[in-house]
Amino acid sequence: MYEAYWGLQEKPFENTPDPRFLYQSGGGAVAYRLLHYALENNRGAALLTGDSGCGKTLVTRALIQDLDPAKTEIALLTNPRWTPEEFISEILYELGHEEELTERAQIVHRLHEVLYENFEAGKNTLVLIDEGQLMKDPAVLEELRLLLNYQLNDAFLVTLLLVGQPGLGQQIRDFPPLDQRVVTRGHLKPLSVEEVRKYIEHRLKIAGRTESIFTEGAIELVDQYAEGIPRKVNNICDVALVVGFSRKLKHIDADWVKRLIQAEGGNGP
């Protein structure tokens, strides 16, 4: 709708996990490298936490994209409200095995076979659990611990990546048998005002524009409104580009961002 007016090839502020738009701030870049090392080198368990809207899903999709698809099998679990047996069955299903197994011993045995088959084929197996804070059953946490027992003398047969809101970190700490097996931990924090500026510039550049659209004053107000949360930055910047297009503005300045913020409270621009 507004792309051509602003000299863009696509919308820059979509809230979708497109790895091309990943902006790695200082702390976020360190967390990314540590997590990537753990996954690529099959180090056991890794943990990524952060407040809602800070980009956890985007980071995990970028991590997955960076892994060699010819050497990696991935089970992506996004709604972790299972019983222990459902958890194991879901991993098998995500790895492409749809056998109707009902007995726990059968499920466990088949999972071990699948993990070993992947290893023999030169493939790592990654189990990625998103929204991990929804795991409330201690028995499922125990199942995660047991999952990491699938290993040879010198190699894990599975790598586990737990992703969720900050409460997940506490859940893991409260369960020492699993906590002790987490080798890498990353935490995504809200962006600083300088990082918000670079974040906006990065997304505009990926979308096809190198010249600034937002003034410094506008960026400061965006940061105050969004509290450094990338999802909220995306929301207000997208609306600003729509309004700027409709009003034929050359730039988005602080006055217009202020109006948009006021509109959020019911007072139109």
User: pLDDT value at position 240?
Assistant: 97
Percent of the chain beyond pLDDT 70? Answer: 98
Whether the predicted pLDDT of 248 surpasses 90: yes
User: pLDDT value at position 107?
Assistant: 87
Query: pLDDT category, 174, cuts 50, 70, 90?
Result: very high
Mean pLDDT for 40-55 is: 92
Asked if residues 183 and 43 have their Cβ atoms less than 8 Å apart, the reply is: yes
13-48 b/e (C-beta count within 10 Å ≥ 16 → b) = beeebeeebbbbbeebeebbebbbebbbebbbbbbb
Question: CA–CA distance from 171 to each of 126, 141, 207, 234 (Å)?
Answer: 21, 9, 39, 30
Selected residue with higher pLDDT from 264 and 8:
8
| Domains of the chain listed by start with CATH number | 26-188 (3.40.50.300), 191-264 (1.10.8)
Q: For residue 240, what is the enclosing H or E element?
A: helix 230-246
User: pLDDT value at position 105?
Assistant: 87
Q: Is the pTM of this model over 0.85?
A: yes
Whether the predicted pLDDT of 102 surpasses 80: no
Q: Mean pLDDT for the chain?
A: 92
Contacting residues for 67 by C-beta, under 8 A, at least 6 apart: 39, 40, 74, 124, 126
Q: For 117-172, what is each residue's pLDDT tens digit?
A: 999 999 999 999 999 999 988 999 999 999 998 887 777 899 999 999 999 999 99
User: pLDDT value at position 267?
Assistant: 52
Helix (H, G, I), strand (E, B) or coil at 190: coil
